[in-house]
Structure 1
């Protein structure tokens, strides 16, 4: 068996061409240029790199971007004030608060301050609630990108046992909800899960989202499974050990080039969707 490579980089490139045409059509029809506002608090180099990648993606499809950089000493109240300004700005269609923020900031309060109409990164409690109930809302960007990737490659989800490793409110939990909404049977594992290897061994679909390099061992994964690695660590290592999997599993995402490009693609796609819904954009 030779695993199907779920190439997020290639799919994102193809979708960007479609988005570029859609943005042009939107503007030709009288809409203003969609604008994504990105807030970065502090000077973490990895976060700065991620923000620049998002700005570059906006430019490639003809969307505007607004970069707000705040000092590391910014308070919760100061950040809330900036978010409020962007909520009220008719030119801004989407708001992204780069995670993580400095520890003195109440990140959840700031996420939830983003109006749901502009929550294109799918980080608000209200958005999560609506999405998990099957109602209209923007999904968290990484899980939304993964779902788009699985759909593109015709990976069957209904009736399958999916194991999600990680319970982050912007990755693991929304990923589990999206899979459940797609009629998968879902198990969520985390740092206090007992018999982790045995649970992984049951999975038809595995999503690694623990943030620890190669925590999930290749030997735990059964033949024929679909392996999605949402982790990235120095040296191109993911959360899932890949040794030998390419000859045993049905499909897997590369690291890098799998999930990452689809996260950014979901973000800009949802920003365009927001622009189409907001009368001011």
Structure 2
């Protein structure tokens, strides 16, 4: 029977463990703090930020928030980030994307100091990841790793195919799966829109991660029997949330699979909390156990 990997349950367990890490910090007089910066009137962005703030309050992370007028320029946004960079009680800074068209997004995101870049977007943190010494693992790729671990999927020696080459998911995940570490040592193939015969590549994989942003791109005929399938996609089709994997078809072949919703999404939020706790540990010089 195919295992449905329950991201909600794994994320809930992780939050409980993080609450214990936060208690360790509290014993040392440190309370982790996360600042969210919202420069958008988009309801989806507002919802995402609201959920992240609620997650913080649930586990004991201090919640800081800044609203920036959506008509403001890059300099005004960067001034807000600069203020948060200087605050000792703020350990992580998250600028919610997408940003308005008039804003230089790359410049704005790079203005977050690397030590507080809990998204892992700053070039310094990207470089450390590629080098094999990540300070903070990007939230979604790290969440994928946690799901694989929770499902008992061995990555060492496995053939993994990552479908998607974005800077947010595809590239960093490929680097993490390649690392010489307990949760790495896979042989990784990165596929994308120009890949010839995608099905041939995915059928040869023990692990398939779909992160292309194309609804139901991968179905059961494109999978090896018993493969583990992680669906990062989140698309709206006819008013419903649909992943990059045709779930009902894929589950007939896969050994384990994540649903959409309820798979990778909850883990992305949980790993943001993880990175914030780690940031507080680093910045305060306090060693804590992390799950």
TM-score, normalising length: structure 1: 0.94
Aligned to 2:18: 19
The alpha carbon displacement at 1:142 in A equals: 0.4
Kept in 2: contact 1:36–1:93 (CA 8 A):
yes
2:251 is equivalent to residue 256 of structure 1: no
Deviation by residue 1:109-148 (Cα, 9 ceiling, x = unmatched): 2222211111111111211110121114101100011111
Separation in 2, partners of 1:244, 1:103: 39
Separation in 1, partners of 2:33, 2:95: 14
Structure 1, unaligned runs of 5 or more: none
Kept in 2: contact 1:91–1:280 (CA 8 A):
no
**Aligned residue among 245, 267, 270 for 2:272:** 267
Q: Sort the Cα spacing of 1:189 and 1:136 in 2 relative to 1 into closer, same or farther, 3 A.
A: closer
Separation in 1, partners of 2:221, 2:44: 31
2:37 is equivalent to residue 35 of structure 1: no
Aligned to 1:57: 55
2:245 is equivalent to residue 247 of structure 1: no
Single out whichever of 241-250 and 125-134 deviates more from structure 2: 241-250
The alpha carbon displacement at 1:55 in A equals: 0.6
Dislocated runs of 4+, deviation >6 Å: none
**Aligned residue among 186, 198, 201 for 1:199:** 201
Separation in 2, partners of 1:194, 1:45: 38
Aligned to 1:93: 91
Deviation by residue 1:13-67 (Cα, 9 ceiling, x = unmatched): 1111121222123112221x21101111111111111111111110110111112
The alpha carbon displacement at 1:226 in A equals: 0.7
SS at match of 2:276: helix
Structure 2, unaligned runs of 5 or more: 287-291
Deviation by residue 1:232-258 (Cα, 9 ceiling, x = unmatched): 123131111112322321111111111
The alpha carbon displacement at 1:95 in A equals: 0.8
The alpha carbon displacement at 1:280 in A equals: 8.9
SS at match of 2:242: coil
Aligned to 1:210: 212
The alpha carbon displacement at 1:176 in A equals: 0.8
The alpha carbon displacement at 1:179 in A equals: 0.9
Kept in 1: contact 2:56–2:63 (CA 8 A):
yes
Kept in 2: contact 1:213–1:240 (CA 8 A):
yes
Separation in 2, partners of 1:162, 1:41: 37
SS at match of 1:183: coil
Separation in 2, partners of 1:94, 1:163: 32
Deviation by residue 1:152-204 (Cα, 9 ceiling, x = unmatched): 22211112111111111111110111111111111111222222222222221
Matches within 5 A, 1:126-145: 126-145=124-143
- RMSD over aligned CA atoms reads 1.6
